[in-house]
Amino acid sequence: MSPLSSRLASLLVLLSLPSLALSCTTVAVPTETDGLVIGRTMELGGLDLLPHWKMVVHPRSSAGTPGGSNPLGFVSVDVLTNDRIPPAVALGTCAEGMNENGLSVSAQTQQGAEYQDFLFDDAAGALKPRLPYLDVAAYILGTCSSAADVEEALRSVVVYGKSAPKGARFHWVIFDADDQSLIVEYIAGELVVRDNTAVGVFTNDPVYDWHVTNLNNYVSLAPVWPELPSDVSVETDVPSVPRAPVTVGHGHNLLSLPGSTTSPARFVTMFYLRQHALSALGVPASASAGVSLVTGLLNKVFIVRGTVPSPSSRSDAKYDNSLELTQWATIKMPAQRTLMFRSYDNSQWRRVNVGELDFSGDREYDPLPLSISNDDGILDIEL
């Protein structure tokens, strides 16, 4: 069995693929002085996966690239487990991370991804190193200092995984310390890279181009108080409604905003709510203000366990554990070299100062669970 096949088999056992949840959301907010504040949620898998997400420090020159070493150290959120998979298989798939230069990567589910053929053979491709698609995030984090480096790095390798089940395929969004952003997708076996700097939002299927086009369907969402021209409304004989139609109550400007947890709905919601907030209040002055805005946006797409059905039968013993939920979320500030995280069972943000970590390999860091048992994030105070 090939290394990719072994890791895929382990990943699918761990994720219980038939009930795999497929939601992830990324949204970026600029600040006046502290660069981007980037929020991301992760819904991959049910309760069985929750204990296995770990924050891991990867020193320079550790395994993870086609050449077997990486010149840049990074911290990432990986799937790490010693149970439920064959003990000989080391599973460490990177889903989220930031490197020492502030470049960050988020891997998000894309069922329609089609990677390159391992046997891809042309004048240049025959000489390229082969990279399993599960290692793309780690490869970018370990070798790229800026978004501008990413496309060249990926075109120098063959990213394979054509046999990967649809629920375990990914596409990626990249941000760097200079506030630049890229989308990386593999469509029909071809690498497609898009500049995401202005849009700053990313979810799941369909492809990125479709989502950007779909924004045009919601141009009626306006950041102003909705009022009809006087020649449209009329007087009525109803005492409580002397004139109709008129604006009654708040929020009518968002009346057509989609509210489901589908990928298209989340993309539209994140884009318009962020743009409306920036239009009304301007760019946040600081990282702290940016974190407040991003936290509010992430709360809007938070998936409460039990609200999204599982494709498994309700009579199945695994049904409850397979229900989708927001397992964890991160906030990244590339210019500040800061990564924060919270979990479904603890909404308190916990901060990792990536710029202060020792990536030389001289210090060993233990993997840090994202979900900390017996800690609900509630702080008691005395009045």
CATH of the domain at 11: 3.60.60.10
Domain count along the chain: 1
Asked whether residue 277 is domain-assigned, the answer is no
Cis peptide before 226 (omega within 30 of 0): no
Asked whether residue 113 is domain-assigned, the answer is yes
Q: Provide the CA 279 distance to its chain's centre, in angstroms.
A: 24
Summary mean pLDDT of the chain: 86
- Residue 194 confidence (pLDDT) above 70: yes
If pLDDT is split at 50, 70 and 90, which confidence band does 307 have?
Answer: confident
pLDDT in tens, 206-230: 999 999 999 999 999 988 888 888 8
Asked whether residue 230 is domain-assigned, the answer is no
Give the count of beta carbons closer than 10 Å to the beta carbon of residue 47.
Answer: 16
The pLDDT of residue 13 is 46
The pLDDT of residue 88 is 31
Q: Tell me the residue range of the domain where 315 lies.
A: 3-204+286-295+302-369
Mean pLDDT of 7-35: 69
Asked whether residue 231 is domain-assigned, the answer is no
If pLDDT is split at 50, 70 and 90, which confidence band does 377 have?
Answer: confident
Euclidean distance between CA atoms 183 and 197, whole angstroms: 9
The pLDDT of residue 125 is 56
Asked whether residue 221 is domain-assigned, the answer is no
Answer positive or negative: Cα dihedral of 259, 262, 265, 269. Answer: positive
Euclidean distance between CA atoms 175 and 134, whole angstroms: 19
For the record, the structure tokens of 25 come out as 């959301």
Mean pLDDT of 366-382: 82
For the record, the structure tokens of 285 come out as 């002055």
- Residue 12 confidence (pLDDT) above 60: no
Counting residues of the chain whose pLDDT is more than 70, the rounded percentage is: 84
Asked whether residue 160 is domain-assigned, the answer is yes
Asked whether residue 10 is domain-assigned, the answer is yes
- Residue 18 confidence (pLDDT) above 50: no
Mean pLDDT of 29-41: 97
Mean pLDDT of 266-276: 97
Residues 185/114/87/359 CA torsion (nearest 10 deg): -20
The pLDDT of residue 250 is 80
- Residue 85 confidence (pLDDT) above 50: no
Asked whether residue 178 is domain-assigned, the answer is yes
- The structure's pTM equals 0.89
Cβ atoms of 67 and 129 within 8 Å: the answer is yes
- Residue 271 confidence (pLDDT) above 90: yes
If pLDDT is split at 50, 70 and 90, which confidence band does 245 have?
Answer: confident
If pLDDT is split at 50, 70 and 90, which confidence band does 171 have?
Answer: very high
For the record, the structure tokens of 281 come out as 């209040």
